[in-house]
């Protein structure tokens, strides 16, 4: 497998322009770091594609397990990088804001390694079942397997909607499977097993025991058993702060699609905003007459005399 010849990397230029269009300050830290890491390894690869791609023959038979770490962050060419990282940009913004940065970092790390492991198992099983050793030599690189796993998460947290696949509306719960087949039909050179491995890893997280295992492992290394995520709030002017907590009690709780109102609502839901407004209104009614004026307000002499007169009248 040869790396593409050096030249004008149009895909890389488009990716950078898209990142700057969104705004670096509006991209959560783990998502931004993932983008930067993939771009860095594209421009400065640790090894050639042939030495970093993932296959049963190279990993298992030749005991070269470092490929599990290298293969997700190496791409065949600039367009391979562009399509993967453009997808990562939007999935990362949505999921990291929902899950929190620390937990999202655990998800990315786990998915990157586990997707490779499942890919090797699939290739080995097919090779043995079909008695076709070429499957063991099939080599794959790229972040798309992880992206399919993140796609499963994204569809899990936003159920009931529709996704546009090749111009056709597809229910979100079936979107991953339709895209798996569609991509393979449109681009036969892509890794069907790699994409399928990503879907299986995503299902292991949303429907299987993977999430609980990750939470248990995180609790061992964290002083807080709940392992709270780091919730970021973003608006058009950049990051407006963060808060350590699990929204509604759990890191992966399903809720409405993220809005851009967090900078104004402090991250409160509509019910919490209403409750806080009612409490503030009741407090104001009971303290308006006897409380000092709000900070920054100065009463005129006439208003001060009127307030003193009202206090006398109330006391009679």
The whole-angstrom distance between residue 303's C-alpha and the CA centroid of its chain comes to 55
> Is residue 231 within 8 Å of 97, Cβ to Cβ?
yes
Q: Which of 52, 112, 144, 191 is catalytic?
A: 144
Backbone phi, then psi, for 242, in 5-degree steps?
-145, 165
Backbone phi, then psi, for 171, in 5-degree steps?
-55, 140
| Exposed/middle/buried for residue 268 (C-beta within 10 Å: 0-12, 13-18, 19+) | middle
Q: Which of 74, 75, 80, 195 is catalytic?
A: 195
**Is 144 among the catalytic positions?**
yes
Place of tokens 């308006």: 288
**Is 195 among the catalytic positions?**
yes
Place of tokens 């999921």: 95
Alpha-carbon dihedral 84, 86, 88, 92, rounded to 10 degrees? 180
Active site residues: 144, 195
């Amino acid at each position: 497998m040869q790396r593409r010849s050096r030249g004008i990397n149009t895909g890389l230029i488009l990716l950078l322009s898209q990142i700057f269009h969104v705004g670096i300050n509006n991209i959560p830290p783990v998502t931004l770091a993932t983008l930067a890491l993939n771009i860095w390894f594209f421009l400065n690869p640790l090894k050639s594609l042939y030495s970093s791609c993932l296959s049963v023959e190279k990993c298992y038979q030749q005991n070269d397990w470092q490929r599990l770490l290298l293969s997700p962050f190496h791409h065949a060419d600039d367009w391979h990088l562009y399509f993967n990282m453009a997808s990562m940009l939007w999935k990362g913004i949505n999921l990291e804001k929902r899950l929190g940065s620390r937990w999202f970092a655990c998800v990315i790390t786990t998915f990157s390694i586990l997707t490779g492991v499942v890919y090797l198992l699939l290739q080995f099983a097919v090779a043995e079942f079909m008695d076709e050793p070429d499957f063991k030599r099939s080599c794959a690189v790229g972040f798309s397997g992880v992206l399919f796993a993140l796609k499963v998460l994204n569809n899990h947290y936003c159920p009931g909607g529709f996704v546009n696949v090749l111009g056709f509306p597809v229910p979100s719960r079936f979107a991953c499977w339709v895209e798996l087949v569609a991509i393979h039909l449109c681009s036969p050179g892509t890794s069907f097993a790699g994409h399928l491995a990503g879907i299986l890893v995503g299902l292991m997280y949303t429907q299987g025991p993977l999430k609980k295992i990750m939470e248990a492992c995180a609790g061992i290394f964290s002083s807080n058993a709940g392992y709270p995520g780091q919730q970021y709030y973003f608006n058009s002017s950049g990051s407006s702060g963060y808060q350590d907590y699990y929204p509604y009690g759990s890191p992966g709780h399903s809720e409405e699609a993220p809005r851009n109102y967090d900078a104004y609502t402090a991250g409160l839901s509509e019910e919490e905003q209403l409750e806080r407004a009612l409490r503030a209104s009741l407090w104001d009614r009971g303290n308006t007459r006897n409380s000092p004026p709000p900070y920054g307000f100065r009463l005129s002499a006439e208003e001060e005399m009127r307030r003193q007169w009202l206090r006398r009248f109330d006391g009679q």
